[in-house]
Amino acid sequence: MLLKPALKNYIWGGSRLKSEFSVESEDAIVAEAWMLSCNPAGESTIINGSLAGKTLAEVLFSDIDHSLGRKMMFSAYFPILIKLIDAENDLSVQVHPGNGYALEKEGRFGKTEMWYVLDARKGANIYYGFSRPISKNELIERIERNTLPDVLNRVIVRPGDVFLIEPGTVHAIGAGILVAEIQQNSDATYRIFDYDRTDSSGKKRELHIEEALEVINTGVTPGSVKSYSTVRCKGYSVVRLASCPYFSVDLVSVDTQADLCCGSESFTSLLLIEGEGRILFGNKAAGTDGIMDVRKGDSVFLPANTGDYRIQGKCRALRTVR
């Protein structure tokens, strides 16, 4: 299934998703494109085959056992949300709760997320934890005095960098960074600092200080993300970028062709982040002819039990499984 993303316009967004990833919008700014989403706040729509026009959620939850795989055989919740994010300006400093707090207080799951840096202006940075352990009292005082960034861990980023943002970790994407984000399917976000910005109506955006103070980790600065070895095969290579209880993400780099498989355990998401090619499917049950041309910016969903498939061409894709 080839997917059309849901689009989000926020005050910090830019135009690169339109110009570089073929995202179609009449708006000049597209901050986020939700490339794989069953979230009611913005659902992906299928644009190919006999299912064209239906939302991904409509199709998946009519056949959960077959579509989502053994790991989700009895689930009525789609676990993953995948976004492209264009930060023309700084995002707010925020923190996400874990499952326990979010389910109790919000009635929804918490949020673990991963960032893969697609591009970054020279010197562009993210905030990733604190530069040193601080007390809750100091944290409150710095929020009140607008000096919170002074104690945040500032990290200069480059294309290819990976960051796993676990619940409780304070974080923010800085200006000039293009990111692919793979996350739990949740919008449980507590904003704690927003540079005193105002929206189009002149109002400051809401902060969530009380909730953030209950979940934020002030004592530990995250270490570097694990590096995984590259598996090289004839015509392609695969490197594991991140793995957690909610998703695993690989970077698949195709030089000529890659023979892969989507089995019975989980669905597969392919997000093309560079180049173009063609995907050949042995299983044509989804109403396609078994051939799909793809290019940078395309998001393809493979239901569990799709079986063997081949990517031909020269391209790179983020492959996500449950």
Helix, strand, or coil (residue 210):
helix
Distances in Å between the Cα of 244 and the Cα atoms of 76, 240, 273 are: 21, 11, 22
Q: How are beta strands 268-281 and 257-262 bridged, if at all? A: unpaired
**Token digits of residue 290:** 């078994």
How many angstroms from the chain centroid is the CA of residue 160?
Answer: 14
Of 169, 136, 140, 174, the closest CA to residue 155 belongs to 174
One of 132, 145, 191, 240 is an active-site residue; which one?
191
Of 280, 276, 268, 315, the closest CA to residue 294 belongs to 276
Q: How are beta strands 177-184 and 152-156 bridged, if at all? A: unpaired
Kindly tell me the sign of the dihedral angle through the C-alpha atoms of 55, 41, 216, 193: positive
Q: How are beta strands 291-295 and 268-281 bridged, if at all? A: antiparallel
User: d(Cα 131, Cα 170) in Å, to the nearest integer?
Assistant: 11
Q: Which amino acid is at 38?
A: C
Cβ burial, residue 273 (10 Å; 0-12/13-18/19+) = buried
User: d(Cα 164, Cα 51) in Å, to the nearest integer?
Assistant: 34
Q: Which helix (H) or strand (E) holds 142?
A: helix 136-145
**Token digits of residue 177:** 């960074």
Q: What is the DSSP letter of 220?
A: -
What is the DSSP code string of 64-78?
HHHHH-GGGTT--S-
Can 142 be counted among the known catalytic residues?
no
Q: Which residues are catalytic?
A: 191
